[in-house]
Each structure stands twice: as C-alpha cells, then as structure tokens.
Amino acid sequence: MKHTKAVLALVLVLLLSLTGCAGSETGAERGEGEYQKIELTMAVNGTDTQMDSRVANHFADLVAERSGGNVTVVVFPNDQLAGGNASKGIEMIAMGSVDLAAYATCTLAVIDKQLPVATLPWSFSSYQEARTVIDETGGAYYAERLEPKGLTYLGSFHNGLRQITNSKHPIEKPEDLKHLKIRVPGSEIYMGFFRTLGADPTSMNWSEVFTAIQQGTIDGQENGVSVTSSAKMAEIQDYLTMWNYSYENNLFIANTLIWDALEPQTRELLQSCASEACEWGRDTLEAEEEQLLKDFEAKGMTITYLTDEQSVAFAEAISDWKNGMIDQFGEYACGCFGITK
C-alpha cells in the first residue's frame, strides 16, 4: 500500500509539473504572484443553493481572480461525480479522484467515526461559541484525524445549528417525537439521539429526502435552517421546531498527495482563499437565518421556539445516552471541543 501511494505521488508530481508548464517557466522561475496553470476539481454534497456549494463557488471565484485565471476550480454539487452518493464522494477525495471537497463531519464519519464528536447534542449554545472553540482547538483535532486518511484540513464553516421539521405536529416535549420517522445522516450520534427519544430515525441520501417526505415514506428531517430552506422543506413540511440540538460543521479538505504536489505558492493561494471562503460562509449563514425563518412563516410553516425549560426536558431525557457517547469518544476528543458530562 505504501509503495502504491509513493508511485501515485510521483505520478501526480510529474502531471502537475507538466500542467504548470504553460510556457518554459518552472515554479522556481515564476515571479511573485504568478501561478502555475492548473484546473482542480472540488466536490460537495449539497445542491447548488446550499452553503457548501456557495462556499465552494466563492472559493473558486477568489482563486480565479487572485491567480489571474491560471488556477481554476471546477465545483461539482450534489456529489455529481459520485452519482449522488456522499460515501462514494468521500472515497473519491481520499483516493485522489477529486482534488478538493467539503463535507459535514457526520458524513465524513464513514472514514473516521471520531470526526463528528462536536455534533454531540447541546455541545454549543451559539454559533460564536462553536467558532471560537473550533478555531482554538477543534480545527487542530480535525487536521490530526484527517492526516492518516490522506486528507489535508484547510478550514471549516457552519453546516448549521440543527433544527427539526415534520408533517405531523409541533414538537415541544420528548414524547412528541415518539414513532416519528425522521431522516438523519448515517452518523451514530444522530441515530442514537433520536432512538433514545423514541423516534424512528432513517438514514438516506440527502437527494432522496424531498421525494420521501412527499410520498410519506418519512415524516420529517433535521438540519440547519439554511439547508432546510435550500431544500424547499417549507413546501412539504408544516412544522419546524427551533431547538439548536446539535451543531454540524463542514470541513474543507484536500487530497494530501495532490496538495503536496502543487507548487508552494499555489498551496499558499488555495489555503488563503479557503480560509477566506470559510469565514464568508460562516458570516453569511448567520446573517441569513433570521430572514429565512420569516420566509418559512410567510409560506405557512408553524415555528415552535423551545423555552429553556423545554430544552432541559429533552437534554435530561438523553443524558444517560449522551454520557455514554462521551465515554466512547474519550476525554481527548471531547476536550478538544470543551465537551464534558
């Protein structure tokens, strides 16, 4: 396996070197601000209106502008290169079939079950708290976990504080979730959380959810406000509960072999643009949520905002399960995100 990776790395270096030689210049001969000519691919799981696609496209625009058009990034939403299958999309970025990607930590759990630790329920009370913790210690944890998988961490941005929509009734207390069929990502955390509350969690590809709700296969879904809006859930769901039960983060990543084969100044450019795009994504999502909620109400959706007392009832109902999950993830992983019992 190591020999195969070494051969692949050499091939990538040769290919990227040839791609960069639009003229006779080598990387060492190029002046400051001049970049190799290269096209990179980037995969995201969301639709072209979801935040992961918007961040990727913003990143691509920044790269094209600052490289004078020499470095281009082609973005593929909906995991188009993987036939809509996020797990296959992650396999492709890990194998080097795709150069760059952005995926939620719960989706990346297919390669490392420790990555979604920060999605444990009620770990963060606000976006600002999540930003601070991730920037101070969480990002280093992500980089550490991704490195053995052949992936380089470039930054992160909000997927969102997760809420829940359904077609049956308002959700105000734990008993309201009993027997509801709720689509969740395949993460052990989300499945365990809803099972503990008596719901019937179902894992399915995001691209299938809208139709599944229309057909009555499932009763609802849980996601951030931004994702819920871009997926047009207000057209098919009557009830939204705002409970901020979990925070999900999108990780901006690169295939390490491809990344290391790029010229140093190209890597510096991409890292700078990725960091800026991630901050833009965070700011934009936070700024848009209030208006999106107003739009939901205008479309006839009933929104329930849980009181602190109501939120405590849910937290108490899952406390034993959550403590077990904290033990499972371990002190180090939880400590990187300030998670305690």
How much of the chain exceeds pLDDT 90, in percent? 87
The pLDDT value given to residue 235: 96
* Mean pLDDT score, 247-270: 98
Confidence of residue 207 (pLDDT cuts 50, 70, 90): confident
Alpha helices (runs of H) in 21-104, residue ranges in sequence order: 51-66, 86-95
Give Cβ neighbours of residue 313 (< 8 Å, ≥ 6 apart). 173, 174
94-114 pLDDT, tens per residue? 999 999 999 999 999 999 999
For 2-21+35-335, the fitting CATH number among 3.90.550.10, 3.40.605.10, 3.40.190.170, 3.30.70.2190 is 3.40.190.170
Q: Which residue has the higher pLDDT, 26 or 335?
A: 335
- Quote the CA–CA distance of 260 and 99 in Å, as a whole number: 11
Which residue is listed with tokens 């297919």?
A: 110
Terminal Cα-to-Cα distance of the chain (whole angstroms): 40
Give Cβ neighbours of residue 210 (< 8 Å, ≥ 6 apart). 231, 232, 233, 236
The pLDDT value given to residue 30: 66
> Smallest Cα–Cα separation from 181: which of 147, 155, 215?
215
Confidence of residue 211 (pLDDT cuts 50, 70, 90): very high
**Token output for 223:** 């996601």
134-176 pLDDT, tens per residue? 999 999 999 999 999 999 999 999 999 999 999 999 999 999 9
Give Cβ neighbours of residue 184 (< 8 Å, ≥ 6 apart). 190, 191, 194, 201, 202, 203, 221, 222
- Quote the CA–CA distance of 80 and 10 in Å, as a whole number: 28
* C-alpha distance from residue 317 to each of 29, 187, 198, 291, 314 (Å): 64, 20, 10, 32, 5
Pairing of strands 181-184, 220-224: parallel
Pairing of strands 100-104, 239-255: antiparallel
> Smallest Cα–Cα separation from 73: which of 102, 31, 49?
102
Pairing of strands 100-104, 38-44: parallel
User: CA dihedral in degrees (232, 124, 131, 65; nearest 10)?
Assistant: -20
The pLDDT value given to residue 187: 87
Lowest pLDDT segment from 31-40, 207-216, 270-279: 31-40
The pLDDT value given to residue 28: 54
4-54 pLDDT, tens per residue? 444 444 445 444 443 433 333 455 566 667 899 999 999 999 888 999 999
**Token output for 279:** 């901050």
- Quote the CA–CA distance of 304 and 301 in Å, as a whole number: 10
> Smallest Cα–Cα separation from 248: which of 218, 290, 275, 281?
281
How much of the chain exceeds pLDDT 70, in percent? 90
